[in-house]
Amino acid sequence: MFKNRVAKVREVLKKKKLDCLLITSLPNLRYLSGFSGSSGALLINRDDGYFLADSRYYSQARKETKGFIIREYRKIIEGIAELSRAAGMKRMGFEAGDLTYKDYQKLQELLAKVKLLPFSKELDSLRAVKDRDEINSIKNAARIAAQCFLELKDTIQPGSRERNLAIELEYKLKKGGSGELPFDIIVASGPRGALPHGVASEKKIRNGEMVVIDYGSRYKGYFSDETCTLLMGIPTRKQKNIYQIVKAAHDKAIDFIRPGKRASQIDKVAREYIRQAGYSRGFGHALGHGVGLAIHEEPLISPDSSTLIEEGMVFTIEPGIYLEGWGGVRIEDMIVVTRDGCKVLTQVSKEMECCSPPVLKG
């Protein structure tokens, strides 16, 4: 598996007339070598591949990676320079989105005769299409997330504090087998739901409010991402109406997905539906994003993304309507593109659901 991926990287090297490629981002290190630690570098040239680790990660790199010559260095940038000098490299590709300006300067100083060239898109598109093992890991992450969320949901009631629910869910996820979470869990109730990324606060949830909960989990390095919007008590007509608009936009986008469509066309299906319902100003963010070893990766599903959709891509569909002072609704599922459509990977039902028994009057 890693061998195939490295072979694909070598094809790109040849095409771009590079002598070697320097990989420093954690998702790409993991994707190409299996290394799951939090620091290291890969130097892939046309014939060999080196994994550079410092003393903290040397034995882990030996255990986790295969097919690379492992070298221990105290300072990785110096190590990279030493290796490329020894191999007579002239053109080195580096990850423009990851190497810091400081490290870039240092590297250029040590390798005055080497041309450093930014390189990133090719690896992003390789990672966008998932194989069966990757899809299984994502499914497992989604399964853990669903189990924990459903357990939490039964405990939510008027008076629950957003932050306590987020902490409780994080605890359940970790205990349920999740690795490091992709982001701080969002619990945004009532008017706070208008903040698309409203991290849980000390606010107490009140009867009659909507609650946006966005959470993810991680399994064997792969993330899941899902959002549910719950209703506390009996919904008002406006709440029901907005929920149904977002849900229909979500369903229409999912029905539309198949290989050969452009990402922007998928975005348009949902955005256009929301616009026609009169809420175009309430939906500002992209419709979705790829998920894998990173929580946000290719393909981006946005109005200006011309990416062609391929079988095996995994991404979210997450339309929302956010109205300042009122609140918000977001519905997010993850899908995998199949030969003739797509399959939803996240497991919690997104039908409108009322969370707690209505308060009886009189």
- Nearest partner of 328 among 158, 184, 213, 251, judged by Cα: 213
Q: Which is nearer to Zn ion, 18 or 314 (CB)?
A: 314
Which residue, 52 or 186, is less far from Zn ion as judged by CB?
186
Residue 291 C-beta: closest distance to Zn ion, Å: 7
Amino acid in the structure at residue 155: T
Quote the least distance from Cβ 315 to Zn ion, whole Å. Answer: 9
Instruction: Pick the closer one to Zn ion by CB: 53 or 185.
Output: 185
Among residue numbers 297 through 316, which ones bind Zn ion (CB under 5 A)? 316
Shortest distance, CB of residue 195 to Zn ion, whole angstroms?
14
For tokens 């990324």, name the residue.
197
Query: Is the Cβ of residue 89 or residue 145 nearer to Zn ion in the bound state?
Result: 145
Give bridge partners of residue 219 from the DSSP assignment: 222
What are the DSSP calls for 190-247, one per residue? GGGGGSTT-B--SPBP-TT-EEEEEE--EETTEE--EEEEEE-SSPPHHHHHHHHHHH
With respect to Zn ion, which residue has the nearer C-beta, 36 or 227?
227
CB of 247 to Zn ion, least distance (A): 16
- Give the contacts of 109 (CB within 8 A, at least 6 positions apart): none
Question: Site for Zn ion (CB under 5 A): which residue of 124, 134, 168, 225?
Answer: 225
162 binds Zn ion (CB under 5 A): no
Q: Which is nearer to Zn ion, 42 or 186 (CB)?
A: 186
Stretch that binds Zn ion, among 146-154, 222-230, 238-246, 319-327 (CB under 5 A): 222-230
The secondary element (H helix, E strand) that includes residue 117 is strand 115-119
- Rounded to whole angstroms, the Cα distance separating 33 from 3 reads 9
| Residue numbers 59-88 binding Zn ion by CB under 5 A | none
Give the per-residue SS3 of 282-337.
Answer: HCCCCCEEECCCCCCEEEEECCCCCCECCCCEEEEECCEEEECCCEEEECEEEEEE
Mask: binding to Zn ion, 314-333, rule CB under 5 A, as x and -? Answer: --x---------------x-
Residue 88: its H or E element: none
- Closest approach, Cβ 182 to Zn ion, in A, equals 8
Size of the site for Zn ion (CB under 5 A): 5
* 277 contacts: CB under 8 Å, gap ≥ 6: 245
CB of 302 to Zn ion, least distance (A): 12
SS3 186: strand
Pick the closer one to Zn ion by CB: 45 or 307. 307
CB 52 within 8 Å of CB 79: yes
CA distance 350 to 154: 16
Give the helix/strand (H/E) hosting 344: strand 342-344
Give the shortest CB-115-to-Zn ion separation in angstroms.
Answer: 37
Q: Smallest distance, Å, CB 299 to Zn ion?
A: 13
H or E segment to which residue 262 belongs = none
Kindly state the smallest distance separating residue 318's Cβ from Zn ion, in Å.
5
Judged by CB under 5 A, the residue of 134, 214, 251, 267 near Zn ion is: 214
Return the range that interacts with Zn ion (CB under 5 A); candidates 91-99, 157-165, 221-229, 253-261: 221-229
- Nearest residue (CB) to Zn ion, 221 versus 290: 290
Stretch that binds Zn ion, among 47-55, 67-75, 148-156, 217-225 (CB under 5 A): 217-225
CB-wise, 221 or 320, nearer to Zn ion? 320
* Residue ranges in contact with Zn ion by CB under 5 A: 214, 225, 227, 316, 332
